Amino acid sequence: MKLKYKTLVPFVIIYFRISLLFLFFYLGSNYLNTFRTKYYHWYFPFEQSIPLYEWAIFPYISVFIFFILPMFYFDNSEIKKIERSFLFSILISTLIFLIFPTKLGFLNTPEFGINVLLSSLKKVDPPHNLVPSLHVCFTSIVLLSLYKKENSRVFLLFYSIWAILIYSSVIFTHQHHLIDIIGGIVLSFIAIKIFHK
C-alpha cells in the first residue's frame, strides 16, 4: 500500500463529485418517500427485537475512511472504474427506492438518550431508502477491488473484518435490515461485473 500522488487530486475531485450526487439522489428520494402512504416491510420478525448499540455508529461512519483506500492502490483509470460503479449503484438504488419505499421494523429504537452522532444520523436519514444498502454496496465495491490489488493476507484480513463491521453496523444502528445487506452485496457484484472488466 502506497500513496499514489498522481491520483490524489483526481481522486479528491471524484470523491467530492460522488458525494454530491449521492446527497442529491439519496436524500432527494428519501425526502420524496416521506410523503408516501404505503411502505414495504421487508424484514424477518426476529430482526424487530435486535437491540440498538450506540458503539456501532463508529464502524458505520468509518465507511468514509474505507472509501479513501483506493487512492493508495489504483491509478486514475482504475479509480474511474470505481467511480462508475458507485454512480451506477446510486442510480439503480434510487430507482428501487422510489418504486419500493420501505420502512424500518425495529421495535426498540430509542429516540432520546443516544449519542450525538447517532441521534444526528436519525434526524437526517428518514427510514425509507433501505433496499439495497448503499453503505454495504459501496463497501463491497471497494473491498472486491482491493482483493484484486492487495497481496498481503494480513491487510486483506484487516479490510475484510473492517467491512464486516461496517455491514453489521447498519443493523446495530437500526438503519437497515438483513435483506438490505444482501441487496447491497448483490448490487456491488453487478457493478463490479459491468465496470471492472
Going from N- to C-terminal start, the domains of the chain cover 5-31+48-195
pTM: 0.92
**Mean pLDDT calculated for residue range 72-79:** 90
Tell me, what's the pLDDT at 133? 97
Tell me, what's the pLDDT at 164? 98
Cα separation, 139 vs 119, in Å, equals 23
**Residue 155 CB-density burial (10 A; 0-12 exposed, 13-18 middle, 19+ buried):** middle
Residue 41 pLDDT > 90 = yes
Tell me, what's the pLDDT at 4? 60
Residue 82 pLDDT > 80 = yes
Cα separation, 3 vs 14, in Å, equals 16
Residue 118 pLDDT > 60 = yes
Residue 98 pLDDT > 80 = yes
